[in-house]
Structure 1
Amino acid sequence: MSIADVADRLLTPECKAFLSLAVVDADGRPLGLISRYALQNIFMLRFGRDLHGQKPAHSVMNDAPLVVCLDTRLEEAAQQVTSQLTYPITEDFILVDGEGRYQGLGTVLDLLKAMEKRVAQRNAVLRRALVDLKESQAQLVQSEKMASLGQMVAGVAHELNTPLGYVKNNVQLLRELKQPLLQLADTHGALLDCLHAADCDEARLAAALGEAVDAREQAAPELLKEDLQQLFSDTLYGLEQIGELVVGLKNFARLDRAMSEDIDLNDCVRSALVIARNNIKDKAEVTLQLGELPRMPCAPSQINQVLLNLLTNAAQAMERCGQILVKTWADDAAVFISVQDSGKGMPAEVLARIFDPFFTTKPVGQGTGLGLSISFKIIQDHGGTIRVASEPGRGTRFLIRLPRAQAPNLQESA
């Protein structure tokens, strides 16, 4: 068959949908591919039919066409075709069965459209998975916050119970001590009434006076004065402790303050220590070395959450009563907070995963493994860094660095 015969077959209105013509042998195996574009390039030339029309068809045939098996997966077919594709796209590819026999033609554009549709479907699945992941992440973060809140409330409740206990005991004791005083007041009132009464005789006056003397002996006001002074002092001290805890809790949560504000980070350290006091007091002695710090923009409630987590972890790392050292200092660019304990420390394999979500060395039911992960994210949102150094038997040190300029993600985080 000549080039002209092939052109007459392909370049007709009826065949305008076909781009190429496969050439197969008697067994149906493809020998090559004659592209519609190759013929157009010939016959668009002046005298193209006269010059090239009588040449054999194989002279314009591509004898190494793209061949794809029908059983090939769509992704693999696309990779196979695109890896051999040349631009501009002028050819189609041949489809064969498992035995290599010709089964039809495929167009690159249709393949790309199919791949685009497949990618769109997978993107939709990934978007749904991302939404589900974010929802799960939010639920887990909320769960960790509730667990931390539960520990914090339990600690504060325990701290409140001690002063409340002796305030209550003092009030009950005052209630008991008031009875002799009230009795003394009543007998003195009866004696005064008798003295002012015109009909009060000597016997009645003597009886009233005797009752007053007995009541005074029962009340013993000269001894009661010192007891009452001590009771009132103890009660006021207990109420001051309760007030300190309430103010510390309010400052810790910052419920009445802006989500982001300029603050002295030493105030955050003190607030976190008040809330963590119950978890620390029987396990470690806290030493503060607080330097003079500039006020800087941050989300105080989030910084408090990080410090509470570090202090609680430090206390839990103590196998016996130890030391916790909290230091703060600043330079021209940043503010630093160091929390160092004398606990059991961590081996290298634990240290490498310390900020991984869900990683915990605590027994089941005693930790979610999200505390340090959330703390890392909070410091990161503030534009800062949190680093850790530890050695088994020598304790652990966390170092927080926060830039003095507000981080771009701070408002969103807050």
Structure 2
Amino acid sequence: MRNFEDDPTLNDLLSNEQLARLNQCLSALCSEPVVLARTRPGPDAVPVEFNLETVGWLSGGGNDDERETAAGLVAFLMMFVAKYRLAANLHHDATEAGYAELQRQNEALKASEARYRELSDQLQQKVDEQVTVIKQTQQELYESARLRSVGQLAAGVAHEINNPIGFISSNLRVARDYVKELGATLPETPTKKDLLADFNDLLTESIDGASRIAGIVSDLKTFSSIDQADFTRCNITSLITSAMHLVQTEYNHELQIVERLAELPDISGHPSRLAQTFFNLLANAAQAVQDAQSDKGPGRILVKTQVESASIQIIIQDNGCGIPEHNQPKIFDAFFTSRPVGSGTGLGLTVARDTVRGHGGQLQLDSREGMGTRVRLTLPIN
């Protein structure tokens, strides 16, 4: 629609149909037909002006007065047509401006919505991170409480069992001496000889069993370290040896564990948590060896320690079933386990990694399915 910033022409004011109807009406008002044209048809034509500009020419009519009057009427009508067009243009411009403003506000609303959505995603991510931290903290508290419970149990076991085991061991040794003295006083007969031999064997086996119980209690006490503070000087070799003895006991001393333990300096650390870490890793290795196929030969676990630079390295390697490649990215996730339901909590490697990190060290795991697993722990000496 024309804005009429420039002076309009008759084409702008009237269409061809409107011009024909206007000529018909003007002719009815005059004695002779009247014609309003865009160009001057003859010398007797009267100009039709709009805003002091000639927009058309009117010819015909009965005389000059009729032509002048008709031209004035047309000019009067043109003024109202122009006002109508101007109002329509103003309305159109206002509508366009309003629509443009609505579009701008809509774009601003979309941008604001996108910012709020991004902010919401960031807040949700932070909430998820905090929930993860809370869960990890709860798990650490649970593990700490569990370790304290194990330590208290070990202290009770050591107190309640060590004394009677000591009495039993001492009495069995005295009884064995009495049997020797009694055998010397009895007459020599085949029956006495066999009876004394069997009795000596029974006493020897009982003494060995009592010594084994005492060793297990001692290992359990070392494993739990109930009588030590949170951080103290730790003998890594002693902790690893106790963990190996406990795992061997759990598997009826049927595991083939190859020890290559170097002389290690004491380090500052949490004995019970380090012992728990070594036990978890050895138990995983033992389980992997048990799950391996029999055609691979006997299962074997290598435990090796060494000093390198300013750190202690502990290597636990097995030739068991290994970890499938698709499970390896998740092995340190809490509660993840590939064992059947009820066979594991899925916390062993998680606790081991966190414990090693808590001591300023690193834990690296390399595994190949069907080949075995190698775990390397690095603990700083200072």
Q: TM-score normalized by structure 1?
A: 0.51
Of residues 105, 114, 120 in structure 2, which corresponds to 1:68?
105
**Structure-2 change in CA distance of 1:322 and 1:149 (3 Å):** farther
1:270 and 2:247 aligned: no
Of residues 308, 317, 323 in structure 1, which corresponds to 2:288?
317
> For residues 326 and 114 of structure 2, what CA distance do their matches in structure 1 show?
44
Q: Does the residue aligned with 2:268 lie in a helix, a strand or coil?
A: strand
Q: How many residues are matched? A: 267
Which letter maps to 2:105?
V
> For residues 131 and 243 of structure 1, what CA distance do their matches in structure 2 show?
46
Q: Which residue of 1 aligns with 2:321?
A: 344
Q: Does the residue aligned with 1:322 lie in a helix, a strand or coil?
A: coil
* Cα-Cα RMSD: 5.0
Residues 318-374 of structure 1 deviation map (CA, whole Å, 9 limit, x = unaligned): 244411110000123100000011111223222232222232211122122221112
Residues 195-227 of structure 1 deviation map (CA, whole Å, 9 limit, x = unaligned): xxxxxxxxxxxxxxxxxxxxx999x89646555
Q: Which residue of 1 aligns with 2:229?
A: 258
Q: Does the residue aligned with 1:373 lie in a helix, a strand or coil?
A: helix
Task: Please report how far the alpha carbon of residue 249 of structure 1 lies from its aligned counterpart in structure 2 after TM superposition.
Answer: 0.5
Say if 2:248 and 2:255, in contact at 8 Å, map to a contact too. no
135-144 or 269-278: bigger deviation: 135-144
Which letter maps to 1:251?
T
Say if 1:283 and 1:315, in contact at 8 Å, map to a contact too. no
Q: Does the residue aligned with 2:228 lie in a helix, a strand or coil?
A: coil
Which letter maps to 2:270?
A
**Structure-2 change in CA distance of 1:317 and 1:145 (3 Å):** farther
Q: Which residue of 2 aligns with 1:279?
A: 250
Which letter maps to 1:311?
L
Of residues 299, 307, 313 in structure 2, which corresponds to 1:330?
307
Q: Which residue of 1 aligns with 2:381?
A: 404
Say if 2:289 and 2:319, in contact at 8 Å, map to a contact too. yes
Say if 1:283 and 1:322, in contact at 8 Å, map to a contact too. no
Say if 1:289 and 1:327, in contact at 8 Å, map to a contact too. yes
> For residues 352 and 102 of structure 2, what CA distance do their matches in structure 1 show?
59
Q: Does the residue aligned with 2:243 lie in a helix, a strand or coil?
A: helix
Say if 2:365 and 2:375, in contact at 8 Å, map to a contact too. yes
> For residues 64 and 27 of structure 1, what CA distance do their matches in structure 2 show?
12
- Counterparts of 1:14-413 in structure 2, within 5 Å, are 67-69=104-106, 72=109, 75-76=112-113, 133-134=132-133, 136-140=135-139, 223=193, 226-281=197-252, 284-319=255-290, 320=294, 321-405=298-382
Q: Does the residue aligned with 2:374 lie in a helix, a strand or coil?
A: strand
- Quote the sequence identity (%): 28
> For residues 225 and 97 of structure 2, what CA distance do their matches in structure 1 show?
80
Task: Please report how far the alpha carbon of residue 136 of structure 1 lies from its aligned counterpart in structure 2 after TM superposition.
Answer: 4.0
> For residues 232 and 362 of structure 1, what CA distance do their matches in structure 2 show?
43
Q: Which residue of 1 aligns with 2:7?
A: none
Task: Please report how far the alpha carbon of residue 382 of structure 1 lies from its aligned counterpart in structure 2 after TM superposition.
Answer: 1.1
Q: Does the residue aligned with 1:287 lie in a helix, a strand or coil?
A: strand
Say if 1:387 and 1:398, in contact at 8 Å, map to a contact too. yes
Q: Does the residue aligned with 1:400 lie in a helix, a strand or coil?
A: strand
Say if 2:147 and 2:224, in contact at 8 Å, map to a contact too. no
Q: Does the residue aligned with 1:358 lie in a helix, a strand or coil?
A: coil
Say if 1:252 and 1:272, in contact at 8 Å, map to a contact too. yes
> For residues 326 and 271 of structure 1, what CA distance do their matches in structure 2 show?
13
Q: TM-score normalized by structure 2?
A: 0.55
Say if 1:290 and 1:328, in contact at 8 Å, map to a contact too. yes
**Structure-2 change in CA distance of 1:283 and 1:140 (3 Å):** farther
Say if 2:281 and 2:316, in contact at 8 Å, map to a contact too. yes
> For residues 73 and 255 of structure 1, what CA distance do their matches in structure 2 show?
62
Say if 1:279 and 1:315, in contact at 8 Å, map to a contact too. no
Highest Rg: 1 or 2?
2
> For residues 262 and 147 of structure 1, what CA distance do their matches in structure 2 show?
22
Say if 1:306 and 1:375, in contact at 8 Å, map to a contact too. yes
Whose helix proportion is higher, 1 or 2?
2
Say if 2:147 and 2:272, in contact at 8 Å, map to a contact too. no
Task: Please report how far the alpha carbon of residue 241 of structure 1 lies from its aligned counterpart in structure 2 after TM superposition.
Answer: 1.1
Structure 1 unaligned residues grouped into runs of 5+ = 1-23, 33-62, 81-114, 158-163, 179-183, 185-215, 406-414
> For residues 77 and 353 of structure 1, what CA distance do their matches in structure 2 show?
34
**Structure-2 change in CA distance of 1:140 and 1:75 (3 Å):** farther
Q: Does the residue aligned with 2:302 lie in a helix, a strand or coil?
A: strand
**Structure-2 change in CA distance of 1:340 and 1:149 (3 Å):** farther
Say if 1:280 and 1:312, in contact at 8 Å, map to a contact too. no
> For residues 253 and 105 of structure 2, what CA distance do their matches in structure 1 show?
75
Which letter maps to 1:353?
K
Q: Does the residue aligned with 2:300 lie in a helix, a strand or coil?
A: strand
